Structure 1
Amino acid sequence: MSEAAPRYQFGDISRVLEALVAADGTAAHAYANRASMGVVRDAQLPLPDLADAATYVSLLHGRHPGVIDYAATRSTDNAARRWLIDAADAFAAERAYLAQVTVAAGPAPSTAGQADCETAVSQQRHALDTLAQSDRRGCAMGAAMALVLDWRAMRHVLDMVAIRAGLEPQPCSLPDRAATLDVARAIGGDDGIDRAIQFGARQLLAQHRGLWDLLGARAAVRAKAG
């Protein structure tokens, strides 16, 4: 994780959450930024690399139940109930879109160490499932809110994959930034809960950065081999 990530400060969990996503999320990762470029042709990734990204994002987040679904079974906060229902419904649509994009882009390119890479992402998915089922109040919600906030940048990558594969990008109906941060403020304010929210968010973002690190490494291996 980035050393620039903010330290915990009591009473401002929504601001901490937003700063964590900005510092350690998908938008701050160099390889993800290259994958999301749709205008500067020289900076674009080849379609096989984009297909690789779609495949591995699908391995991490394409299965039901996911982070948000598990969080909905763990949260007892009335202030989060409507947000969780809306987020779960919207992410079901995102999974369908992810599957469509992955099929359109084609299979992940053959890469040395393929089995090890799939095992690594399977372990990441297991880590997220465990995180989202934590009984520590605030932890699962922290992961779910970080996913919704960071998904915008991941979705931008998927939209670039869709465009390159000849598909029309679909609208995203996940709760927006303001609604998500409002929920963070509503359920936070207690020292222990705020720490748990921050922990869940940090762990979710660490898995996302790990995924982009893996995808960047896979692309480097293919470039060297080619």
Structure 2
Amino acid sequence: MPFDSVQIARQGGIWGALDALAASDGSAGHPYVGRLRQSMEPLRDLADAAHYLCLLHGRHPGVIDHALPHARDSVERAWLEAAAEAFAAERALLVQLVAAAGPLPSTPGQAESDNAALHQRHAVEMLSQSDRAGCATGTALALVLDWTAIRAVLNSAAERLGLEMPETRLPPIEETASVVAELSGETIIERAILFGAEQLFAQHRGLWELLEARMEARGRA
């Protein structure tokens, strides 16, 4: 869904467009995410999600780290630095959670699943290293916005495993909105930000589709 200047204006500027994109395409709206957040699925499904989220976002450098060198001004750079530092803590918690969850649950088509997830990781890494002005930051913004729903899934897994999960230190929504406002004004930059965000959300949706398919495959096995 490429955005033009008319669409951006109609949706309340770039922040309105980004917020609308997160609501329509982000993880929070995926039915499987809702079931995992509410612990409606077996622990093995939560563990499966943690493993694959770690495959996608558990390595350093990650999305935000890759985006940082592409920052164009001090406000953008300061937000990315704060987000990168906070996400390092999220990454450590994710690794800890995977260790507590144990091995991946036995699932038919494991090799195909791994291959699909690796392709998703490659796509995310390419987006976060894009030289197109605004794209890398848009990818990082989308990750921070989408992490609220993802963190809720991880919190559910941690609760089932008896682990304590501290509050996230990722930049609050108000601060993120303020930074997005600072980046607005140039249509070409706004489009690139929204493109990066759109593609990150798409990769996350693909991951949830993969995880749901794996859950169904285990049920049939």
Name the TM-score, length of structure 2 as normaliser.
0.94
The answer to whether structure 1 residue 176 and structure 2 residue 177 are counterparts is: no
The answer to whether structure 1 residue 153 and structure 2 residue 149 are counterparts is: yes
Describe the superposition over 1:198-220 as per-residue Cα deviations: whole angstroms up to 9, x where unpaired.
00000000000000000000000
The answer to whether structure 1 residue 25 and structure 2 residue 21 are counterparts is: no
Residue of structure 2 equivalent to 1:8: 7
State the aligned residue count. Answer: 215
Preserved contact between residue 12 and residue 189 of structure 1 (Cα < 8 Å): no
Deviation at 1:8, TM superposition (A): 3.4
Distance 1:188 1:136 in 2: 15
Residue of structure 2 equivalent to 1:41: none
Residue of structure 2 equivalent to 1:72: 68
Give the counterpart letter for 1:94 in structure 2.
E
Distance 2:187 2:131 in 1: 17
Residue of structure 2 equivalent to 1:83: 79
Give the counterpart letter for 2:161 in structure 1.
A
Work out the percentage of aligned pairs sharing the same amino acid: 54
Residue of structure 2 equivalent to 1:36: 37
Give the counterpart letter for 2:180 in structure 1.
A
The answer to whether structure 1 residue 134 and structure 2 residue 134 are counterparts is: no
Deviation at 1:104, TM superposition (A): 1.1
2:162 to 163, 166, 190: 166
Give the counterpart letter for 1:174 in structure 2.
L
Describe the superposition over 1:99-146 as per-residue Cα deviations: whole angstroms up to 9, x where unpaired.
111111222111111011111111111111110111110000100001
Distance 1:110 1:85 in 2: 38
Residue of structure 2 equivalent to 1:4: none
Give the counterpart letter for 2:77 in structure 1.
R
Deviation at 1:76, TM superposition (A): 1.5
Preserved contact between residue 139 and residue 200 of structure 1 (Cα < 8 Å): yes
Distance 2:199 2:7 in 1: 14
Deviation at 1:77, TM superposition (A): 2.1
Q: What stretches of structure 1 of length at least 5 have no aligned partner?
A: 2-6, 39-43
1:60 to 49, 56, 60: 56
Q: What stretches of structure 2 of length at least 5 have no aligned partner?
A: none
Deviation at 1:73, TM superposition (A): 1.1
- 2:24 is paired with a residue of what secondary structure? helix
Name the TM-score, length of structure 1 as normaliser.
0.92
C-alpha RMSD over aligned residues: 1.3
Distance 2:82 2:92 in 1: 16
The answer to whether structure 1 residue 109 and structure 2 residue 105 are counterparts is: yes
Preserved contact between residue 137 and residue 193 of structure 2 (Cα < 8 Å): yes
Give the counterpart letter for 1:164 in structure 2.
R
Q: Following TM superposition, where does structure 1 have runs of at least 4 consecutive aligned residues deviating by more than 6 angstroms? A: none
